[in-house]
Amino acid sequence: MVQAEGAMYDQMSRKLDILQKIDTNTKIQIQFIHQRKMKGLLRLLEERAQYLQELEALGKESDGTVSLITTNEEMKKIALLIEAKQQEIIKDNNAALEDARAEQDYIAADLRRIDSKIKLQNYYDNQWVKFSGNGFNQKG
């Protein structure tokens, strides 16, 4: 029983460590979204996928042992920390998604503005091209 609790404590502490890494990763993602650093954001998303795979592997590994109910106060604290960290990750993830949608709208508006500016500039540039070189100064 003590060995099972020790293994469960180790698994819970590893899970808390992975969740902390995911939370840090999510907060950095929010910063990168605002800075429009897409390469860094892609790297962070790949890193997050690795953390999620580790978390999934840990979940598969601990299917039988986590279901045990313990009276150990330290493990109850870790379980509460894990639950709080999961809720924080969900909140931060939702904030990242909202920020990404807003930034996508800003980028789309910028592209439309630039596109209309280029079309307007090309229209006037093409108007002047028609009138230049009419042959007024040619010997004939």
DSSP annotation string for 20-60: HHHHHHHHHHHHHHHHT-HHHHHHHHHHHHHHHHHHHHHHH
pLDDT the model gives residue 66: 47
Locus of tokens 């500016």: 117
| Residue 69 per-residue DSSP state | -
For 18-69, write each residue's pLDDT tens digit: 999 999 999 999 999 988 888 988 999 999 999 999 999 988 887 655 444 5
Poorest-pLDDT segment among 16-20, 102-106, 120-124, 131-135: 131-135
For 61-119, write each residue's pLDDT tens digit: 876 554 445 567 888 888 899 999 999 999 999 999 999 999 999 999 999 999 888 88
Whether the model pTM is above 0.75: no
Residues 52, 56: Cα–Cα separation, whole Å: 6
Side chain identity at 75, as an amino acid letter? M
The better pLDDT of the pair 36, 4 is held by: 36
Locus of tokens 């990404």: 100
| Residue 130 per-residue DSSP state | H
Side chain identity at 38, as an amino acid letter? M
**SS3 at position 137:** coil
